[in-house]
Structure formats: structure tokens, C-alpha cells
Amino acid sequence: MHYLPKKVIFCKLCVQSNQRPGPSPEHLKKNKSVPTIGFKEGICDACRYYSEIKSKINWKLREKKLKKLCDKYRDKNALYDVIVPGSGGKDSIYVSQLLKNKYKMKVLSVTWAPHLYTDIGWKNFQSWCKTGIDNILVTPNYKVHSKLTSLAFKNLVNPFQPFIMGQKVCAPKIALKYGVKLIFYGENNSEARGHYKENLSPIMDIKHYTRKNNKTKLFYGGVSLKDLKNKHGITNRDLEIYMPPLEQQIRKRGVEVHFMSYYKKWSPQENYYFAKKNSGFQTNIGGRSEGTYSKFSSLDDKIDGQHYYTMFIKFGQGRAMNDACRDIRDGFISRDEALLLMKKYDGEFPKKYFSEFLKYIDIDEEKYWKIIDKVRPKHLWGKKNGKWFLKHKVWQQK
Ligand SMILES: [Zn+2]
């Protein structure tokens, strides 16, 4: 399904493994693109970015750049100066409050809504709105989105794919509608997950949220537009809300997408303290999230647990590993502590919302496990006495 390196290695500094999907060596020869996560002398790209670049950044200088950027886009005649996309989690609260209160920007927040909101997710979203910003909540068509989610689970074992596809184009399209030119995300994902070089720019590459022209081939849930129409009854009109805007349109209107993690030293833990102090933000009811030790990340969607669990199956990387890599680099836990936490929580099945998830994607439990077991890569998973086990565990490495 994905190209994964057959030799499993774990970063010596954090606990990241090299099992992230990337283009195959043959593909690389033809296309010259880079794999999603790189390793050099046993150290992952994210750790290299931290030690070689992030630790040497002059944050005062970066803040001056932020001020200059805000001065450029602040417009007393405009209804809004900036769009902050987000769910009302700790990161979006931090970014929107910073822009509103410190830089006096008129903020419009935009939320691509999950269909299966958790109680805590909905409460936090409401608390975010109460911090004094306008919000546009975009909820996709239930029938279409649940169908696409089901197809994405069956074809890609990635139930989150349609959500991400809608989410990433939502803010740029609203920016075009409202004539807003600046969009501010929190973290550049590359900071934690490879693409070393993409951290060097404050701006998100336009290719991530636009299409070149009307002929650009698009797949939703792993299915082409033609097959969606002919086999699943989903029309182009149904998909309009997921369609990326045209690149030339975005360039013509001068819309830019920036990352706050370029301008401010980014730390999810610090953002959590900020959100707790400055809004009604609450952590997970009943403590930590399933599959990890943390209690303040990805709380709003009942599908979140399945997103992390399917990653654990496909790449052997659990939710605890995901959190631990970050916390080690930010100095909140040691590598030894991370190993203990991963041993305890990685791969824990997200059972809390499992039946709701199955109902949402309209499949039964037996089919679910058939799909899951089919995609376990042979070099990562073994079976003993009818039980699956991970062949390479970072906490067992010397
Ligand atoms: Zn690392």
C-alpha cells in the first residue's frame, strides 16, 4: 500500500521511527522529490531541525518580522485582516488571541467541523468563540462526508483523509469570499515530521491547498471523480466543498498562508498553559486520550482515535510515540520516560467511540478487522498463537 523502508530504525534522540510513507526509490529517481521523513546518522530530520536550526533562531528578530507582517495586512477598512483556521483547541486559541490582543488584528476564525464532535470538543469550540472572535463553522453534507470517510477507510485505511481534504481548502476559499489576504496556521507540520527544508519558510507551499487547473486529477477516499459519480452517486456538486481553489486565483488575489511556528517558538505544552489561562479550554474528560498519555491534543473528533490507531497498524507508530517525540524535543520528558510511556500506551485500541465510528462508516466489526489486518506490513507485524505483535519495538532496542 505504501512504500516503507524495510529496515526499521528509531531516532537516537527522540523515538521517531523511519516508517513514514514516502515515495519509492524508483519514484524518487523519476521525480526527484524527497521522502516524508529523513534520517542522517541515526537522527531524524525533526531532531536535526531542532538542534541545527530551531535552537539557533533569533526569536526577537522573528517577532519583528511578525509585527511587520501584521502591519502590512492590518487594514482599517477591511472587515477582517486575518483568518485563523482551527477547532478551538489549544493551538488555535493561542494564535487567534495573540493576533487579536497583541497585534490588534481583526480575526475571523474558520472551523471545518467534525460530524462526530466529542462533548469536550464542542465545549472547547464554544469557549474559543467566547474569546471575542467571529467564527464560521463549515459542516460538510453528512451523507457525502460519511460515504467518503467509509471509502477512505476501506480503500486507504485512512478514515481522516476526506476530513483533511476539506479542512485544508476551507480557509483559503473563505479568504477568497471575504477578500482576506492573510491566513495564519499554528504549527508547520514539517517541524515535527520531516521535510526539513520546508521549515525554513514562513509560508505554506501553495501546492498544498490549490489545484493547477480544471484538469487536475482529484481522488477522494481513493476514488476518482468519475467513479464517485458512476459507482457511488456522488456528484461534482456534492464535492464542491472539498475542491481546492485554482492556484492562479489565489496568486491573483494575493492570499498567503503563514505558520505561527515560524515567528514564535512553538510548543504544544506551552500553548496548553496559555489556553487554560486565557479561555475556558478544558482537557479530556476522564484524563488521557486512548493510545497515549497526553490529555490536551486532538480532542474534538470521535474519529481521532481511529486516525492514530490506523497509523499504528500501517506504520507501527502509535499515538504515544507521536506525542513523545515532540515532548522529548521540547524538553518535557526524557527519552527513557518516553520508552516507558510508549510501552504502556502505544497501540491501545480506541474503544470509547468504536461503535459510533462503525455506524458512521456503515460497516460491521468483522469487516473492520478484515480491513485492518490486511494492511499490516509483513516487515512490521508478526502473528503468534493467533495474536498480532509488533516485530520492532523501540523500548526493546539497546
Ligand atoms: Zn528524532
The arithmetic mean of pLDDT across residues 229-240, rounded, is 95
Domains of the chain by start residue, with CATH: 25-56+283-396 (no CATH), 59-263 (3.40.50)
pLDDT in tens, 335-391: 999 999 999 999 999 999 999 999 999 999 999 999 999 999 999 999 999 999 999
Instruction: Give 300 Cα–ligand 1 centroid separation in angstroms.
Output: 28
pLDDT in the model for residue 66:
98
Instruction: Give 11 Cα–ligand 1 centroid separation in angstroms.
Output: 5
Grid coordinates of 389: 505483535
Instruction: Give 63 Cα–ligand 1 centroid separation in angstroms.
Output: 27
Query: Given the C-alpha cell 497583541, which residue does it identify?
Result: 102
The arithmetic mean of pLDDT across residues 150-160, rounded, is 96
> Which are the contacts of 147, defined by CB distance < 8 A and separation ≥ 6?
221, 232, 234
Query: Given the C-alpha cell 497585534, which residue does it identify?
Result: 103
Instruction: Give 135 Cα–ligand 1 centroid separation in angstroms.
Output: 37
C-alpha pair distances (Å), 89 with each of 16, 93, 96, 126, 298? 24, 6, 11, 11, 8
The arithmetic mean of pLDDT across residues 95-115, rounded, is 97
The arithmetic mean of pLDDT across residues 95-105, rounded, is 97
pLDDT in tens, 273-325: 999 998 888 887 778 999 999 887 778 899 999 999 999 999 999 999 999 99
Amino acid, res. 250: I
386 SS3 class: coil
CA dihedral 211, 217, 84, 278 (to 10 degrees): -150
pLDDT in the model for residue 194:
57
Please state, as a whole number, how many other Cβ atoms lie within 10 Å of the Cβ of residue 63: 14
DSSP symbols for 372-385: HHHT--TTTEEEET
Average pLDDT, the chain: 91
The arithmetic mean of pLDDT across residues 24-45, rounded, is 66
pLDDT in tens, 210-219: 999 988 888 9
Instruction: Give 50 Cα–ligand 1 centroid separation in angstroms.
Output: 9
User: Higher model confidence: residue 285 or residue 138?
Assistant: 138
| Dist. CA 134–CA 297, nearest whole Å | 23
pLDDT beyond 50 at 34: no
| Dist. CA 338–CA 95, nearest whole Å | 28
